[in-house]
Structure 1
């Protein structure tokens, strides 16, 4: 510690150092992994041809001469496949959904919904409940489960049902939402 009460390196002794990992595993370091645009295009082409993510990973590994020469990990590959699978809601799909919700609203005066759009006009959150869901909530809403463990759909929205149990020990839905990942 120097006179300013800060730590300061005064000597480096090389024989106390050792590699963090074995040389054969260096390709797994985050700094060594690269998911380039050409790789993403190849993965997208393989996915469009019907190859499963594991098959496209194995094919690319074989072509590169092994997993250690591929330049990205299996997890990176699967994440890329997942991101390519997710598509934003295009205008016609979101407009159709909103039209159906407004149609339902005219038929059911207890129907309620809210849609939140992102800055670029895409649906990022959607919530709705109808009269029957409201009635079930009033009767059986003592305990409610908000479950977001369902996978995201092709629009990258997570299905989040609000569920309870009725007097027959059956699931009953109180409301439902599709929630977008606000961090993206």
Structure 2
């Protein structure tokens, strides 16, 4: 059944609630099954709805096909396994194909192992990094999180994810000559592309207080998509008590 959310009536004229055919507006915890004819306001909303359904049943999803118009708007796209949504004249997306059959048994408890569902939250990342700096091994580090969470089933990541994160964190830690390394990096980037911009603010003792940089691609994107830009200062500080505050915008690819 197709329901227009702007004019929520059935063919017989009976009024219905807007939330009935748009799961993003339904605030209940019940997992709704995808149905042909559902409407969504964006491609992301379709993906989030289907990902939630897939996680609950125990299977993984991924984009399968998509067609992009000359203006950058996605005309239609498909997601395994398997739904298809088509862009409508009003800018929303409508599910035109919904196949819910699977060729194998589904185990909902296994869904947390799928890459699409894996995630380490920022406070946990910080705990892992602190424990690593304190000399705690990866296995013990991970096990401490497991115990605190109440078991492996309560986590959305495993020991391999923890090991990968800690290795990345170690590579990002700067050592002796940090200021010189940053200045050299900025200089090299500017030599490679004259539109790369950076600025370093020093205190009276010649120590770095603030850093600012923007690459050429971001500068070009801002000219075309500078309508809304967020400035987020909620990121954690590093060992020099310097917070990371990115400027974030959205382009025509979302």
TM-score category (smaller protein)? 0.3 to 0.5
More helix by share: 1
Identify which of structures 1 and 2 has the higher relative contact order when contacts are C-alpha pairs closer than 8 Å and 6+ apart: 1
| TM-score (ref. length: structure 1) | 0.43
